[in-house]
């Protein structure tokens, strides 16, 4: 299992040994902590759940605190889990793995599991652009700027036929909400790793704004 939660720091460029520049995105990846272990016997499949990011206690529900093992054990609730030292974690993400025996609750998972040169997928939420027209949203050319046209420069044109069709087909590209969607950048090359500062540099861009949550995992199509 290779997977981490992180925060997008921003973009920069690095030089390789031949002096060629490459655009990279810096991600503050981890440290993450194992908050749950799922097995075939208990859940029907094998996976581990990682937690990332500190938060305030008043932002967690009682159920979330119990899941993280932060509730004190008392006589009324003898089955409550004792704290396993992960602290107040804001984000939780599950990763499938066949090696659940290698993990234990509270274990720290860092960026050291990745190596320079390997491929990863980075999942995030794209920037929200609000309500946008078809020219900005889909790259439409717009209408003619001559022959008497004065108000159709950024219009979509005809959106459907009359007579037999008599309606607009579902899925037609039209104006609407743009961005703020889950997106995966696939097969990005890991350029550099800084295990001490929990930083990973991947070649190319990743979805989302600076400070946005991203999920890093081993490439599915490498």
Q: What is the pLDDT of residue 79?
A: 55
Cβ neighbours of residue 79 closer than 8 Å, sequence gap 6 or more: none
Supply the pTM of this predicted model: 0.82
Give the list of residues 6+ apart from residue 200 with CB closer than 8 angstroms, or none. 6, 26, 27, 29, 111, 114, 190, 192, 193, 194, 216
pLDDT of residue 78: 56
pLDDT for the residue 50: 93
Could you give the domains of the chain?
A: 3-129+180-218 (2.40.30.10), 130-178 (no CATH)
Q: What does pLDDT average to in each consecutive run of 10 residues of the chain (222 residues)?
A: 92 90 94 91 92 88 83 56 68 91 90 92 96 96 88 90 87 95 95 93 95 94 80
């Amino acid at each position: 299992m290779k997977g981490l939660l992180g925060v997008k720091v921003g973009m920069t460029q690095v030089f390789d040994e031949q002096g060629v520049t490459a655009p990279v995105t810096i991600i503050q990846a981890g440290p993450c902590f194992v908050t749950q272990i799922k097995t075939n016997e208990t859940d029907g499949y094998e996976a581990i759940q990682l937690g990332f990011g500190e938060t305030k206690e008043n932002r967690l529900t009682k159920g979330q605190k119990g899941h993280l093992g932060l509730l004190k054990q008392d006589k009324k609730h003898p089955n409550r889990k004792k704290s396993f030292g992960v602290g107040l974690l804001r984000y939780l993400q599950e990763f499938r793995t066949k090696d659940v025996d290698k993990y234990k609750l509270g274990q720290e998972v860092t960026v050291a599991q990745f190596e320079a040169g390997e491929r990863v997928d980075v999942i995030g939420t794209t920037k929200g652009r609000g309500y946008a027209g078809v020219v900005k949203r889909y790259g439409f050319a717009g209408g003619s700027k001559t022959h008497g046209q004065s108000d159709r420069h950024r219009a979509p044109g005809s959106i459907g036929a009359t007579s037999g069709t008599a309606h607009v087909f579902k899925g037609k590209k039209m104006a609407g909400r743009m961005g703020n969607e889950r997106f995966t950048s696939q097969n990005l090359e890991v350029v550099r790793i800084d295990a001490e500062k929990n930083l990973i540099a991947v070649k190319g861009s990743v979805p989302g704004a600076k400070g946005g949550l991203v999920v890093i995992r081993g490439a599915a199509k490498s």
